[in-house]
Structure 1
Amino acid sequence: MVQEVCRHGARSPTTFMPWDNLLIWPYGPGELTPEGIRQHYLLGTALRQKYINELKFLSPNYNQSEIYVFSSDRNRTIISAFSQMQGLYPPGTGFQLRSQAMETIAQPPINVKNLQKTISQLSLNPLPYLTQVIPIHNDEIIRELALNPSSSCNYYDYLASYKMTLPELQNIYNKYPDVIDDIQKCLVVSKSKAQSLARKVSDSVIANNFINNPLPCNFSMSFITKVQQLAEEVKNYNFFEPDFLARLAGSAIMQKIANNFYMKITMNYTKKFILYSGHDTTLSFMLAFMGYTMTGLPPYASTLIFELHEDKMEYYVTLKYNNKDLKIKGCGSVNCSWDEFLRFVEIRSIPDIENACLINTSQVLQRSLRVALDDVFHLPGDNGGSLKWYFWISVSLYLVLLLMLILLCKRKFLVENLGE
């Protein structure tokens, strides 16, 4: 079984800066560009070459029992998934009408202009060029939670927003005074405003630079490098640190990956290829969940590909990030045994993630927030967290119950003996 989690392709800036407009970005803010569509189509052709042409793993024509595609509910991720599937099953691989009679029978109950001309052009092809359309799903809450937790996990969003109010954030901005100064001069804003706009400026200049647009405000390539580093540090601080945040954000998607493999091993589960189309944060959350240090955000159209292999009734999992092997922590080698992989995901996951995300944040005290965001705060499975608060609470409760049981037994013994 193969499971791919990808970032959408190249897009327009999610927020237009003064130098952005609809002439440059006619599709609007945050939308997939033709370049992004091309990226995912080519990614799909690479997958077809490997899993269909070389390994004969998937059927050469789309088979709904083998493929499942899910996307977060954003235009750019849905179109990315569709484009990738066009590469995996390109025009010419679709199924034709069952008979020539269907050319006239397969019509909608309305008048169609130029009907005969269209039928003649299509012949037995349902769509031009025998195009194969593959469904893209985004109807389950848990999957949206898995792909876009920063906007769908209430507790995570609350903690991340709270972190942005802490003084530690200012320490990051203080490391890049020249970047903040350049933004101030360009946009004619205050220092604090320039700091709050730094990530949006970074997003815009990266998108513009990708399609070779002239850089605004005479920004240099050095500025782009530094503002990107600043944006990455802020994002890492805000989204992935400490470890509890990474685990809270990554639990849902990693549980889905493990559960799909589990169904493949233990049940008659026919799916062989599952695609999750998400965002840069989706991949970053997963990498942070797996304990990798975040050194740069995943580029457009990045992929994490998990493969489940069987060798003489033994199962193991491999992981590739942008076609490079990654060793899953807690595993003896790149070929991670199924037991090791499952144990790792179970230990790292936040139990009952759906309810954890629905926590009533209005009842969360400031002290609790600080504890949740303190590096010494751990749940079972954290590195170095084998004997933390939850352990001592469990032991204390056990001792209290044991003491109560002893007292009850003693009382019963005394009553019986006094009665005699």
Structure 2
Amino acid sequence: MSKPIFILFTLALLLGIISGDTIVSVVSTFRHGARSPIDKSSWDLGVWPQGYGELTPEGYRQHYLNGKEMAYRYIEQAQLISPKFSVSEIYIRSTDLNRTVMSVQSQLYGMFSNGPQLAQTAFNQKAVPPLLNVQNQQQAITALGEHALPNGYQPVPVHVVSASYDNMLVGSSIAACPRMAEILQAQQQTDIYKQKVAAYTQGLQKQISQVFGITVSYEVAGYMADTLTTDKFHKFDWPPGVTDEMYYQMYGNQNYTNSYFYTPEASSLAGSQFFQAILDQFDGTISGTSTRKFGFYSAHDTTLIAFLNFLGVFDGNNPIYASTLIFELHNNNNAYAVHISYNGASILLDGCVDPCPYATFKEMMQEKIIANVTEACQLQNDEAELSYNYNPYLDINALS
């Protein structure tokens, strides 16, 4: 074979491989967008009209823009899902909090900005409620035209589970998984934890006491950094005396305090149901027994930390607002593989290539998945008295 012919053959082969590769199923999980601080602090200089722990307009926009990117990738380019929202193609689940529900709603609005229209013009006057004397009804009908809702809005069904029973998306919380308290206690007995607390007591704790007028634990100092981060993001001033250096020390506390309890066991307890859901969706796609093509899971930073730890790729840095972890199932001439990305960067699993052959990926996940998480989450010694330093990141009421 001559060199030019060989080159053409190689190019044709490569083009065939590329054209044969299609995305056939996707699971996306993400942290909610920007929000107000979880709790009120006397020193917080921010102004929060909607109250505490609520998604801000900036958070709406973050997820709306995420949705526009998802639309470009999976509707326009990959043609994975329909341009019009279909309940048979998409499943949406969120933790039972306003900010996570509103985040995924904002994201889906970005994906499906052109909502449904009435089936017939005749329904303009027929599709009305059985209320009498609705104010400005005819004016509203005229403004809608053929649209079901203003501005092409597409309602989406969001499924939630009460936090105390949500082992999928808040599986690190002690309320959902009491076993986490025993793991936390054990981790607080390690040398590295004790060394960090001792160093904090001798240094940063004293600075915080001088600036804020309060003496707080190692964990709470990290939690205070979350409020400072929220203020910083929304362009509010910090209290006098808080320097960048001090903030980054507190932020370092947060990076550690919201992740040190994720031992391999804890990561499996918090991640098993989610990764089983991925396998179930992908298996359904491969076998042709399911029409679901996209799963959205709206959660928290600690949720993503659990999942990244489950994969063995957590880098120690707290996920920022709207951080997104995506699993794509690719079909390349009936050879299935999984591509994973986090905030746009590809993730390479230890012991696999990218994309990871699905059989290998599935085997790797199944090695860590706990079949009965509810049972495994029970206390191993319910007669022992637990004693540990309070950690807000294991408290459902302080989910960040």
Give the TM-score, by structure 1 length: 0.80
For structure 1, list consecutive stretches of 5 or more residues without a partner in the other structure.
Answer: 371-420
Match of 1:104 among 100, 121, 125: 125
CA 1:179 to 1:265, structure 2 compared with 1: closer, same or farther past 3 Å? same
Cα distance in 2, alignment partners of residues 293 and 272 from structure 1: 27
Q: How does 1:17-416 map to 2 (within 5 A)?
A: 17-20=41-44, 24-90=47-113, 93-111=114-132, 112-139=134-161, 144-151=166-173, 152-163=175-186, 166=189, 168=191, 169-176=193-200, 177-190=202-215, 193-237=216-260, 239-240=261-262, 242-331=263-352, 333-357=353-377, 359-360=378-379, 363=382, 365=384
Deviates more, 1:303-312 or 1:162-171: 162-171
Cα distance in 1, alignment partners of residues 360 and 165 from structure 2: 24
Question: Deviation of residue 249 (structure 1)?
Answer: 1.6
**In 2, are the aligned partners of 1:12 and 1:207 still within 8 Å (CA)?**
yes
Cα distance in 2, alignment partners of residues 344 and 364 from structure 1: 35
Question: Deviation of residue 200 (structure 1)?
Answer: 2.4
**In 1, are the aligned partners of 2:29 and 2:299 still within 8 Å (CA)?**
yes
2:178 aligned counterpart, secondary structure: helix
CA 1:142 to 1:162, structure 2 compared with 1: closer, same or farther past 3 Å? closer
**In 1, are the aligned partners of 2:28 and 2:326 still within 8 Å (CA)?**
yes
**Could you give the per-residue CA deviations for residues 263-315 of structure 1, whole angstroms, max 9, x where no partner exists?**
22124210111110010111100111111243211111001100011122211
**In 2, are the aligned partners of 1:72 and 1:148 still within 8 Å (CA)?**
yes
CA 1:339 to 1:67, structure 2 compared with 1: closer, same or farther past 3 Å? same
Question: Deviation of residue 106 (structure 1)?
Answer: 1.0
Cα distance in 1, alignment partners of residues 166 and 345 from structure 2: 27
* Equivalent residue, structure 2, for 1:389: none
Letter in 1 for 2:309: A
| Structure with greater helix share of residues | 1
1:3 aligned counterpart, secondary structure: strand
Question: Deviation of residue 110 (structure 1)?
Answer: 1.1
Cα distance in 1, alignment partners of residues 373 and 266 from structure 2: 12
CA 1:196 to 1:337, structure 2 compared with 1: closer, same or farther past 3 Å? closer
CA 1:5 to 1:174, structure 2 compared with 1: closer, same or farther past 3 Å? same
Moved over 4 A (4+): 139-143, 364-367
**Could you give the per-residue CA deviations for residues 308-362 of structure 1, whole angstroms, max 9, x where no partner exists?**
111222111110011111012332x1111111111101111223112212x2566
User: Which protein is bigger by CA-based radius of gyration?
Assistant: 1
Question: Deviation of residue 166 (structure 1)?
Answer: 3.9
**In 2, are the aligned partners of 1:12 and 1:29 still within 8 Å (CA)?**
yes
Number of residues paired by the alignment? 360
Letter in 2 for 1:363: D
1:80 aligned counterpart, secondary structure: helix
Cα distance in 2, alignment partners of residues 351 and 131 from structure 1: 40
Cα distance in 2, alignment partners of residues 207 and 364 from structure 1: 40
Question: Deviation of residue 157 (structure 1)?
Answer: 3.5
**Could you give the per-residue CA deviations for residues 218-266 of structure 1, whole angstroms, max 9, x where no partner exists?**
21111111110012122222x31x3222222222211211222122212
* Equivalent residue, structure 1, for 2:40: 16
2:93 aligned counterpart, secondary structure: strand
Give the TM-score, by structure 2 length: 0.84
* Equivalent residue, structure 1, for 2:21: none
Identity of aligned residues (%): 32
Cα distance in 2, alignment partners of residues 313 and 297 from structure 1: 37
Letter in 1 for 2:365: V
